[in-house]
Amino acid sequence: MDAIYHLMDHLPFAFTGDLFMKRALLAVLLVAPVCAAMGVMVVNFRMAFFSDAISHSAFTGVALGVLFGIDPLYTLVAFGIVVGLAIISVRRLSSLSVDTVIGVFFSFAVALGIVLISARKGLTRDLHSYLYGDVLTVGDGEIALMAALFVAVAVFLTFQFNHLFLIGINERLAKAQGAPVKALEYAYALLLALVVTVSIRVIGLLLVTAMLVVPAAAGRNLARSVRSMFWASVGVGLASGVIGLVASFYWDSATGATIILTASGFFLLSQVTGALRK
Amino acid sequence: MSEPLKKPAAIEIHDLHVELGRVPILTGVNARIRKGEITALIGPNGAGKTTLLLAILGMVPYRGRIEIPNGAGRPRIGYVPQHLEFDRGMPVTALDFLCLPRQRPPVWLRHSRRTREKALANLELVEAAHLSKRRLGILSGGELQRVLLAQALLDDPAIVLLDEPSSAVDRSGEELFMSLIKRLKKERNLTMLLVSHDLSMVTRLAGQVICLNRVVLSEGKAAEVLNEKTLSGCFGADKGLLLHDHPWGEDAEINCAYHPDQDHGDH
């Protein structure tokens, strides 16, 4: 890590002078493109509510960590994965609509978290940095976790993107073409739960879904093909991340929210561009 | 049924049972799809026509036997689904759509040269080369149907299953689609199994007809099966059926209309 930080000293930006800003920039460069790339599928699969359920399960995840004396990062990731896989399993087994199933798990995870937090008053302190995100306190361990996730998502989307996108177009047709629909659905849910929970430290649980959805929605407005949607989304995600981080440094504002505000600006621009094209 | 079966079978179905959610959909179907012919599968709503196609594709669990003599390896079957329901705002071009399931590199990186060439050749084959860069969501019903046919032919299948190909297609689109089907069948000696409510399409395309309502009610040459008695038995009395004296089969040029309620919830 020291070698990377040393290299960053040569960047012509004053804000990378401090170690915490170097870490913050690295975290944003890793998390923003991952969220945007996964967001392409979130938008196509209409899974924004699923992502919201995972992020809000962090209430319980963090509370469990503090209660049992484990680093809350691990418990929130683990609990997020459990909630994600449970939603997919119940949806497959029951005749309830997907938003109903997600709604039930969303409510359960938030309610359990609030019960635990309200019963142990001290927990509120710990929750704050997860609610709004706190990229300036990200440590080397978390950077390593984000880098591992970056690689995992890149590998997954290299080998499974085509089938996943086809499932997004029409599940029956994808099945007829030999796509392993069920396995891919679980794998995607698992990876999405990981991305959401790991990104909470940067963006905050309240806004992490926006980091998935807003760049991908802007990319979709700008794109005329699958390839251009993917790259436009990643581009908007990265630009929003870096601009938002720098702006929050100078404005002394919450980084996650500033990033999402920037992404929303890009979305508005894309909407206008899309309308002018028609 | 009475005619001696000269052509070898492309698909043989023996005592096929399918239940979906404990509801019996097919209850002992026996049928023989002849090689190199167009066979029409007709029947009322909920008769199990789509389910039979899905069983042949291995997409629903079933009891019984479906034999597809193919020498070695898995038989290649092309499939044109009914009403492709998808998000029409999705920025996916016809070329993307054809390349997605067939190439190893992710489409976000590039279209592989071989798949792209094959996809473009297939689009040209179905008179849709000019649609390659157009988004799927803005295609007309007939254009979308031809793109779906192009994807069904990508693996050079010996068998093609078509589920209600004329639904959501206008008259001129339907004419073009039918002439394409005839030409492809002739040029490639394809076996085609066609689910249709449109008896005009059935009489003009199909050499063989299978009348299905959970079981096979009748099966044989189009001229034998498509008569008032058999159709009444299959669909029930007077459903707006109009039949004329005319030559049957693949070269028939007649108007024969059957207008049941549009089938959107078929099994």
Q: Provide the residue-wise pLDDT of chain A in tens; the chain has 278 residues.
A: 778 877 777 777 767 778 888 899 999 999 999 999 999 999 988 889 999 999 999 889 988 988 888 888 899 999 999 999 999 999 888 888 889 999 999 999 999 988 988 887 766 776 778 888 888 888 899 999 999 999 999 999 999 999 999 999 988 889 888 889 999 999 999 999 999 999 998 999 899 999 999 999 999 999 999 999 999 999 999 999 999 999 998 899 999 999 999 999 999 999 999 888 87
B241 against B186, higher pLDDT: B186
Measured between beta carbons, the chain A residues lying within 8 angstroms of B110 are 227
What percent of chain B lies above the pLDDT cut of 90?
48
- Report domain extents, chain B: 1-75+158-267, 84-155
User: Which string of DSSP letters, residue by residue, matches A216-248?
Assistant: HHHHHHH-SSHHHHHHHHHHHHHHHHHHHHHHH
Please enumerate in sequence order all residues whose Cβ is within 8 A of that of A2, keeping only pairs 6 or more positions apart, or say none: none
Instruction: Calculate mean pLDDT across residues B175-185.
Output: 89
**Residue B117 pLDDT exceeds 50:** yes
**Residue B11 pLDDT exceeds 80:** yes
Measured between beta carbons, the chain A residues lying within 8 angstroms of B55 are none
Instruction: Return the residue of B nearest to A162 by Cα.
Output: B100
Query: Which helix (DSSP H) or strand (DSSP E) does residue A263 occupy?
Result: helix A255-277
Pseudo-torsion of CA A176, A177, A179, A182, nearest 10°? -10
Instruction: Calculate mean pLDDT across residues B3-24.
Output: 83
**Residue keyed to tokens 């070698």:** A3
- Report domain extents, chain A: 21-209
Three-class secondary structure of residue B32 per DSSP: strand
| A118-137 pLDDT per residue, tens | 887 766 776 778 888 888 88
Please enumerate in sequence order all residues whose Cβ is within 8 A of that of A243, keeping only pairs 6 or more positions apart, or say none: A259, A262
Query: What is the structure's pLDDT at B69?
Result: 83
pTM value > 0.90: no
Measured between beta carbons, the chain A residues lying within 8 angstroms of B59 are 172, 175-176
Instruction: Calculate mean pLDDT across residues B237-266.
Output: 44
Cβ B85–A170 below 8 Å, yes or no?
A: yes
Helical axes A140-169 vs A181-203, angle rounded to 10°: 140
What pLDDT band is residue B160 in, cutting at 50, 70 and 90? Answer: very high
Cβ A220–B90 below 8 Å, yes or no?
A: yes
Q: What angle do CA A48, A52, A57 make, to 5 degrees?
A: 150
Please give the C-alpha separations between residue B8 and each of B43, B140, B153, B183, B209, in angstroms, as whole numbers: 25, 38, 22, 21, 16
Three-class secondary structure of residue B206 per DSSP: coil
Query: What is the structure's pLDDT at B258?
Result: 41
Helical axes A255-277 vs A181-203, angle rounded to 10°: 120
Of A172, A220, A227, the CB nearest to B108: A227
The answer to whether domain B1-75+158-267 has CATH 3.40.50.10490 is: no
Which pair of structure tokens corresponds to residue A221? 């407005």
| B254-264 pLDDT per residue, tens | 334 344 443 43
Contact between A105 and A86 (Cβ < 8 Å): yes
Measured between beta carbons, the chain A residues lying within 8 angstroms of B116 are none
Q: Average per-residue pLDDT in chain B?
A: 83
Of B90, B109, B135, the CB nearest to A44: B90
Of A157, A172, A229, the CB nearest to B91: A229
Q: Which CATH number fits domain A21-209: 2.40.50.140, 3.30.830.10, 1.10.3470.10, 1.10.645.10?
A: 1.10.3470.10
Instruction: Calculate mean pLDDT across residues B207-215.
Output: 92
Instruction: Calculate mean pLDDT across residues B185-191.
Output: 90
Of B139, B159, B158, nearest to B97 by C-alpha is B139
Cβ A170–B109 below 8 Å, yes or no?
A: no
Query: What is the structure's pLDDT at A130?
Result: 86
**Residue B15 pLDDT exceeds 70:** yes
Instruction: Calculate mean pLDDT across residues B91-115.
Output: 94
Instruction: Tell me how close the Cα of A42 comes to any Cα of chain B, in angstroms.
Output: 12
What is the ipTM metric for this complex? 0.86
Measured between beta carbons, the chain A residues lying within 8 angstroms of B97 are 169
Cβ B108–A224 below 8 Å, yes or no?
A: no
Cβ A162–B106 below 8 Å, yes or no?
A: yes
Measured between beta carbons, the chain B residues lying within 8 angstroms of A173 are 79, 81, 84
Instruction: Tell me how close the Cα of B200 comes to any Cα of chain A, in angstroms.
Output: 27
Query: What is the structure's pLDDT at B73?
Result: 65
Phi/psi of residue B32, nearest 5 degrees: -135, 120
